[in-house]
């Protein structure tokens, strides 16, 4: 796994051992960032939350492309260790925070700390289908900025609803067995 563009381009990232994580493929990552950049530029002040971070590759890709700060959340101790190693490899310690926590508890904590994020990427375990509940938790917590974007990776066969708790699905893509849906605050007009 590697950083595909920006300041850290070409950096090879370590991934957690075993099958408890599923790193986002380069193909999916390239497509996701192409979509983001076509809709809105990643500004130098952007703040990013990488939920179910695994190796931290998505948050580091955002930093490499100009984001100012990235927050990484994962509940697995070995993933947290790998994330910290990858952050150190990129020398990005000053612009990152790492939390070993359940996603829901982490969202509550970040809300209490008054964090606001411009981009939230989540890649939860496919078999749990918890994306709607996480979207609701994010909405209720107030951690997504008013112009923010949520990117959710999921099984390609999972059809995400157009509106979930005041979050509007603005796009959805499929890459083989992987699906990616994009949400913003508000509702779509159907």
Length of the chain: 190
pLDDT digits (tens, 9 = 90+) for 134-158: 999 999 999 999 989 999 999 887 7
**Residue 60 binned pLDDT confidence (cut-offs 50, 70, 90):** very high
pLDDT at 95: 97
Q: Does the reported pTM lie above 0.75?
A: yes
Radius of gyration of the chain (CA): 15
Residue with tokens 């190693």: 85
- 56 CB-side CA count, 13 A: 33
Sign, Cα dihedral of 99, 13, 59, 69: positive
Q: Residue 50: helix, strand or coil by DSSP?
A: strand
Domain extents for the chain?
26-185
Architecture of domain 26-185 in this structure: 3-Layer(aba) Sandwich (3.40)
Pick the closest to residue 135 from 186, 60, 72 (CA basis). Answer: 186
């Amino acid at each position: 796994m590697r950083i595909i563009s920006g300041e850290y381009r070409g950096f090879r990232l370590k991934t957690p051992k075993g099958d408890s994580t599923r790193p986002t493929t380069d193909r999916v990552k390239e497509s996701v960032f192409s979509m983001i950049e076509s809709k809105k530029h990643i500004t130098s002040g952007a703040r990013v939350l990488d939920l179910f971070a695994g190796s931290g590759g998505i948050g580091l890709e955002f930093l490499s492309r100009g984001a100012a700060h990235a927050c990484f959340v994962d509940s697995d101790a070995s993933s947290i260790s790998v994330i910290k190693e990858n952050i150190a490899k990129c020398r990005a310690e000053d612009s990152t925070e790492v939390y070993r926590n359940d996603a829901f508890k982490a969202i509550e904590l970040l809300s209490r700390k008054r964090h606001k994020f411009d981009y939230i990427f989540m890649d939860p375990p496919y078999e749990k289908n918890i994306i709607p509940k996480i979207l609701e938790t994010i909405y209720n917590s107030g951690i997504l900025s008013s112009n923010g974007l949520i990117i959710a990776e999921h099984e390609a066969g999972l059809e995400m609803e157009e509106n979930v708790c005041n979050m509007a699905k603005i796009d959805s893509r499929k890459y083989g067995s992987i699906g990616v849906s994009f949400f913003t605050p508000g509702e779509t007009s159907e």
